[in-house]
């Protein structure tokens, strides 16, 4: 596997959310308001609001972006390339990842304000990799009057600038947790980088669908879901990254 990936399914999200809720309950602290951090935090925050019996729920639209990125690519494409370069050329992975992270910026997509005066707030993410989203979110809800703020996440990739108060999984090595609510976008990055790099390496630009599916398994550790695989190819076709010749073959544009 070139890019270590764990494909998380809906049942596992629910199971992890139950464990997270249990940890919060067992701590003896229950928030009065839950705030989802970013789109990824929305699903987990909604489950926790149900399991903890908290009906006050809102979201802050925080996300990573790279100012120079355009078209189909996100920072994930650069991260996959970092692992590929390390795999192919023996370049230290830490240096490659550092070069990706230094270009990232935090964006707040929708400016908003809420009255959280004297509220006990639980900030929720699905995964905490740097802690920067929690840091910014804590500053925001603090400016809205929150008297106490704690953080919860399904996955904590410590160490981070903020250690979450509650978490369930702490992996011992890098793994990209691919959650079901961002599957299509991640598939686009997975397939886009994979097809371009393999075509350049092999100087081969026409591939069958079966060959691409097998490359996906080699790069990411499992056969692709046919629905997401097909739709990702359609998106890449619309961006001119590939050209779908027929139901069985594509040409890669590099």
Q: What is the per-residue pLDDT for 226?
A: 97
Report whether pLDDT(18) > 80: yes
The mean pLDDT value for 161-170 works out to 97
| Domain region containing 9 | 5-66+105-176
Residue 25, pLDDT score: 98
Cα–Cα distance for residue pair 139/92, rounded to 1 Å: 35
Section 223-229 average pLDDT:
98
The three-class DSSP label of residue 125 is strand
172 lies in the same domain as 189: no
Whether the Cβ atoms of residue 67 and residue 107 lie closer than 8 Å to each other: no
Inter-residue contact 143 to 149 (CB < 8 Å):
no
User: Does 81 map to a domain?
Assistant: no
Query: Domain ends where: 125, 149, 176?
Result: 176
Q: How far apart are CA 56 and CA 33, in angstroms?
A: 5
Strand 33-37 to 120-128 pairing:
parallel
pLDDT for 203 equals: 95
Residue 200 sits in a domain whose CATH number is 1.10.10.10
């Amino acid at each position: 596997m070139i890019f270590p990936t764990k494909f998380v399914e809906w049942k596992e999200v629910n199971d992890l959310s139950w464990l997270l809720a249990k940890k919060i309950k067992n701590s003896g602290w229950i928030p009065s308001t839950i705030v989802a951090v970013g789109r990824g935090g929305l699903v987990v925050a909604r489950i926790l609001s149900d399991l903890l019996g908290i009906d006050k729920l809102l979201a802050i639209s925080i996300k990573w972006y790279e100012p120079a990125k355009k078209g189909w690519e996100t920072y994930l494409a650069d991260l996959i390339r970092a692992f590929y370069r390390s795999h192919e050329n023996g370049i230290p992975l830490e240096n490659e990842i550092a070069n990706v992270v230094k270009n990232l910026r935090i964006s707040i997509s929708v400016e908003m304000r809420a009255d959280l005066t004297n509220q006990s707030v639980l900030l929720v993410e699905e995964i905490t990799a740097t802690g920067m989203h929690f840091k910014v979110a804590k500053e925001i809800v603090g400016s809205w009057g929150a008297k106490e703020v704690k953080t919860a996440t399904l996955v904590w990739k410590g160490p981070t600038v903020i250690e979450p108060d509650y978490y369930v999984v702490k992996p011992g090595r890098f793994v990209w947790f691919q959650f079901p609510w961002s599957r299509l976008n991640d598939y686009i990055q997975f397939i886009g980088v994979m097809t371009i790099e393999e075509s350049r390496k092999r100087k081969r630009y026409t591939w069958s669908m079966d060959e691409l599916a097998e490359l996906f398994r080699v790069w990411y550790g499992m056969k692709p879901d046919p629905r997401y695989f097909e739709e990702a190819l359609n998106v890449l076709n619309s961006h001119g990254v590939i050209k779908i010749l027929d139901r069985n073959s594509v040409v890669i544009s590099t």
